[in-house]
Chain A
Amino acid sequence: MTTDPMAEIRASFFIECEELLEALQDGLQMMDEGEDDPETINIVFRAVHSIKGGAGAFGLEALVRFAHRYETVLDEVRAGRLLVDPDALKVFFQAADHLSDLVRISRDEAPLPEEETVQLLEALDAFLGDTPPEEEAAEEDIDFQPMGLALDLDLNGDDVSEDSDAFPSLDDLPPPPDFNTENDSASETYTIVFTPKAELFETGNEPSLLLRNLGDLGEAQVVCDASELPDLADLTPELPHLSWTINLATDADEGEIRSIFEFVEGLCTLEIAAGNGPAHADQNHSDIPHNLPEITPPETLGPPPESRSAPFPAPQSAPASLAYEQQTEETTPAERAPVKDKSAKPAAAPAAKSVVRVDLDRIERLVNLVGELVINQAMLSQSPEQSGISPHSDAMSGLEEFQRLTRDIQDSVMMIRAQPVKSLFQRMSRIVREASAAVGMDVRLQIFGEATEVDKTVIERLADPLTHMIRNAVDHGLESRDDRIAAGKEPQGRVNLTAAHRSGRVVIEIADDGAGINRPKVLQIAIDKGLIAPDANLSDSEIDNLLFLPGFSTASVVSDLSGRGVGMDVVRTAIQALGGRITITSEPEKGTTFSISLPLTLAVLDGMVVEVAGETLVLPLNLVVETLTLENEGVKMLRPGHNVIEVRSGFTPLFDLGHALGYREPVTDFEGSVALLTAQEDESRAALVIDNIQDQRQVVIKGLDDSFHRAPGIAAATILGDGQIALILDPSDIIANAGPMPRTSPAYSSEGLSA
């Protein structure tokens, strides 16, 4: 595959597709939030269009076919002929999901989901066949005087001029005194003033070609304005001094003229005026032209045919009466800015930071090398101390500098791995759409803090637990529509997904505005399933935490969506495996919030380096609550092999770490040994007996290869300053394993023979 250059181009096309699909999702999301300005619609359109184009080049028929129809519908939106209502958006979202499926399928060359494609295509085609809905006018907020208007019934048409040709009756209408619709098909004279900027030439564009293209549209009279030309002595060859005035008599509309200049947008000053009147200055080309005003079919034409401000990019060089509206927009930016200053926002997007695509393997290698560097540095800084070099010598201060640099490099490298949670959250919005459709509910997902950056590995491993929790929120968290109305809530359920950095950790919250946890029911189920004693007296939060017990499922109806036996316990295990914590808060009638707190990175850990039975081990520092020195009197035997110690008011189980790990026989004399009091996620405590504490430091986490023995109680390994490996412990695992039946290594003695 790699030797085939085509395969490489193909691969990069699919990578590009991912980005385009993301842009598509973004755009739709913005539209969903009510931002239906032309630039947003354009982003959506362009994304689909680019996918179609690329797919065509690789002969991905199915993709092209679907993208084309999708694009056609979006083009209608772009042209302002189709109003985006929530139903339409729903279909657009589905189509976007399907498009991303098709991209994936095309990449993997998997069988195509024909049925789904056909269904969606039908849904999309429905938009093309329909007349725009009535309520169109309601959203429009710009007042126009009723005028004779170009009417366009043929909504299937792709091309504006075609449409117009189909309705020559336009010409019969008395021409409005000062309102020219841009798709007026009458042969029109335009005055175009075209002044290239230096950038136009720098980017290799050729004005003569543009002028020639203009000439193709109709009869053009080109006048070159050389008045700005300085004397030869003063001439700077890099700067353009010429401009052209073109009088063009053409059937084409202004949009077509503009499209000729599409590629030099922003690189020139372009003024286009219909008729021979003064050209309307048009300096700002940040928007791709949108030349179609809202066209309302006569049936739906109310007394005041209004036009929406949105399809007009603010500085569109529209003729006279339109200019009035633009004037207000331009002259009172302060007033309008908060409402309609949208052109500025999308304009910022193209100026995105430049990005380099790097193979993940290379980053992994870099991370590993930096880990090595840190270890090496630690080793190096130990040696001068041992060889008795003065701490004020040059060598030592150089080493300190080295240490600081190493830390900086490490931080920077970790930053490379950090990624915004956006892609993950976008997947979640799809999950919400699918989940709400499956249970027939109307759910809106609101996303906050999608720019929050988290280690890539964390993001990948969050996908499954998050999916599960989102589904739970939709399926169990939110009430049915009727119940919501009865409770006086909005019929549409809400799920909020939030990410934020909080004190060195990432906090992700999934909040629904449902009925909250039904605690009596939860309690009853837990009792029925024998998870807790019937007479147990639990606090609210303890009841909430019952959801995390294995084998717990509250949905009285096992739905399609959740309730397949994997419950919140799986979610919690997954989160804990990432070094995270999960908590629930729930308020009756207000909703439930799950809060996940995660470490920023899986690459480093604050650890306590301890010694047990001659081995060096590392415990995650955040789990250690306090250290105790044991005395024999304090240790009470519960039953043989099981001891507890009295810490303050309660008894805490005592585990001999050396024995639990199979390193030695159980300790019987605890006098003088050190114990670490650890707290688990579920607030339970345990004391671990160790020999002594060596150090407290940051360690670089080295994953243990899955392909070899999975050691219970061991989370990972690290390399210490002396180059030796130390295992990083997972105390909860040790305690769980050491619980009812302490395992000892002799139990394994026969396994070697089984091969």
Chain B
Amino acid sequence: MSTQTGPDSIELLTFRIAEQEYALDILSVREIRGWTHAPPLPHAPHYMKGVINLRGTVLPVMDLSARLGLPKREQNARNVIIVVKLEETMTGLLVDAVSDIVAMSPEDMQPPPELSSDIAEAVVSALTLIDERMIRVLDLASTINVLEGVAA
């Protein structure tokens, strides 16, 4: 781990999508699953990958790279689904690979620069550096809540 654990530190799960590094607050992560085929929902937004079976419940899976507007890539066996829980709703997020769990203190987190045209910006709540690599910390609510907008 590159950072020491402090009393108000936040633990982040970092993962890669299209050679970029992203992170989520680990408290919202429920589990990580290997990639399985997700039957697509017809006429769903393109970033909705489909649905998978999570121990008997139907879990919608979002292709995070499509959601963030990153280039399309082929699926491979190393891809994983991060199962997150926001309020009472579980969602799967398809990412390329999970990298690490790091503890960050809030001071290490910088707000992202104001670039309103950037569609990924709305979902990135902070930036931080680990070993000179920039990590984009995602705001889970705004990442997922787009779904509610579509459903409504």
Residues of chain A at the chain B interface (Cβ within 8 Å): 368-369, 371-372, 375, 615-616, 660-663, 702-714, 717, 719, 723-727, 737, 743, 745, 748-749, 751-755
Contacts and interface: CB of A to CB of B under 8 A. Distances in A.
A375 B56 contact: yes
B48 interface: yes
Interface stretch (B12-20, B37-45, B100-108, B124-132): B37-45
Interface string B25-52: 0000000000011111111111110111
B119 A755 contact: yes
A664 to B, nearest CB: 11
Interface string B127-151: 0000000000000001001111111
Interface SS majority for chain B = mixed
Interface in B38-82: 38-48, 50-53, 55-58, 60, 66-67, 69
A706 B60 CA distance: 11
Given A709-B147, A753-B119, A702 B43 contact: no
B89 interface: yes
Given A712-B43, A751-B46, A752-B69, A719 B56 contact: yes
A709 B48 contact: yes
A702 B58 contact: yes
Nearest to A661: B42
B151 to A, nearest CB: 5
Interface size of B as a range: 35 or more
A615 B40 contact: yes
Contacts of A723: 53
Nearest to A369: B56
Contacts of A724: 36-37, 39, 53
Contacts of B66: 752
Contacts of B39: 615-616, 724-727
Given A702-B57, A723-B53, A709 B44 contact: yes
Those 7 A-B pairs whose CB atoms lie nearest each other, nearest first: A661-B42, A755-B146, A711-B41, A372-B56, A708-B60, A752-B47, A717-B58
Nearest to A706: B151
Interface string B88-130: 0101000000000000000000000000000100110000000
A743 B43 contact: yes
A723 B52 CA distance: 9
Contact of A662 (B37, B42, B147): B42
B46 A708 contact: no
A191 B139 CA distance: 85
A755 B122 contact: yes
Nearest to B56: A372
Nearest to B41: A711
Contacts of A368: 56-57
8 contacts: A615-B40, A661-B42, A708-B147, A713-B43, A714-B42, A727-B42, A745-B42, A749-B46
Contacts, number: 110
B43 A748 contact: yes
A371 B58 CA distance: 13
A751 B150 contact: yes
A319 B151 CA distance: 76
A749 B67 CA distance: 11
Nearest to B47: A752
Contacts of A703: 58
Nearest to A717: B58
A604 to B, nearest CB: 14
A663 B41 CA distance: 9
A610 to B, nearest CB: 13
A752 B46 contact: yes
Contacts of A707: 89, 147-148, 151
A724 B37 CA distance: 8
Contacts of B122: 755
A709 B145 CA distance: 11
Residue of B37, B45, B55, B148 most packed against chain A (CB within 10 A): B45
Contacts of A737: 43
Residue of B44, B123, B148 most packed against chain A (CB within 10 A): B44
B58 to A, nearest CB: 5
A713 B46 CA distance: 17
A533 B119 CA distance: 51
B67 A752 contact: yes
A709 B48 CA distance: 8
Given A662-B42, A752-B146, 9 more contacts: A368-B57, A371-B56, A372-B55, A705-B89, A707-B89, A725-B38, A725-B51, A752-B45, A755-B145
A707 B86 CA distance: 11
Nearest to B54: A725
A709 B57 contact: no
Residue of A710, A725, A726 most packed against chain B (CB within 10 A): A725
A709 B45 contact: yes
Contacts of A709: 41, 44-45, 48, 60, 147, 150-151
Given A708-B91, A752-B47, A754-B149, A713 B55 contact: no
B60 to A, nearest CB: 4
